[in-house]
Amino acid sequence: MKIPTLPFTVTNWKHVPTTEHPGDSGKAIWRTQNNADLRVRMVEYSPGYVADHWCDRGHILYVLEGELLTELKDGRKFTLTPGMSYQVSDFGDPAHRSSTTTGAKLFIVD
């Protein structure tokens, strides 16, 4: 990821509008800032959320609250709790998808 040219920006996330994204079950609430090719998000997954797709996009994801299960298409699974992160590129590793039984709050840059 290369951060594009952009001005110094302070974000008060509680003032960023939300969008709702249904999963196979549950929902994701996104607060999104787009700057050229850079997307920065605060995401909340409801309890019981299961993503409705496999994702090939690279991310830096940090867990703020709850517990997140990330599954790779090759069958590997990782459980992340507050204070943990993962980094995945647009190339190389197999696609991934997220789920949570308890709900989770995440900070994601992609």
For 51-63, what is each residue's pLDDT tens digit?
Answer: 999 999 899 999 9
Q: Is 96 helix (H, G, I), strand (E, B) or coil?
A: strand
State if pTM tops 0.75: yes
Over residues 87-101, the mean pLDDT reads 90
Type of residue found at 58:
G
Q: How far apart are CA 37 and CA 85, in angstroms?
A: 21
DSSP-assigned letter for residue 17: P
Q: Which residues, other chains included, contact 11 with Cβ-Cβ below 8 Å and sequence gap of 6+?
A: 33, 40
Fold topology of 18-109:
Jelly Rolls (2.60.120)
pLDDT interval class at 1 (50, 70, 90): low
Torsion of CA 55, 56, 60, 66, to 10 degrees: 20
CA–CA gap between residue 26 and residue 46 (Å, rounded): 6
Q: Which two tokens stand for residue 61?
A: 């994801």
Phi and psi angles of residue 59, each rounded to the nearest 5 degrees, phi first: -145, 155
Give the chain's mean pLDDT.
94
Instruction: Determine the pLDDT at residue 104.
Output: 98
